[in-house]
Amino acid sequence: MSEHMSISKAAEYLNVAKSTLRNWEAGGLITPLRTASNQRRYTKEMLDELLQGNMKAAKPKKLLTIGYCRVSSGHQKEDLQRQK
């Protein structure tokens, strides 16, 4: 049976931040095991698979682009239309 690593040890093994592992989990790239107290645990095999790209890919997130247009007075409404 493989040794289970804490999130700190796993982050150190992968040379990434703990928050990166959390983000990968949120994105569906990795699913850690959980202890009875809900702490994340990782196996070396699980992390090696992640490094090799064999874990399931995360769903692409839809990106939102926001534009901001403004004018300082009502006399510049035509400028606002041009900015859009």
Task: Transcribe 2-69 into DSSP letters.
Answer: PPEEPHHHHHHHHTS-HHHHHHHHHTTS---EE-TT--EEEEHHHHHHHHHT-SPPPPPPPP------
pLDDT at site 57: 45
pLDDT at site 1: 54
pLDDT at site 34: 93
pLDDT single digits (tens) 9-68:
999 999 999 999 999 999 888 999 999 999 999 999 999 988 887 544 444 456 677 777
Instruction: Please name every residue paired with 34 in a beta bridge, in sequence order, or none if there are none.
Output: 40
pLDDT at site 83: 74
pLDDT at site 19: 94
Say whether pLDDT at 2 is over 80: no
pLDDT at site 27: 86
CATH number belonging to the domain at 1-84, selected among 1.10.1660.10, 3.40.50.720, 3.10.20.340, 3.90.1300.10: 1.10.1660.10
In the chain, domain spans: 1-84
pLDDT at site 60: 47
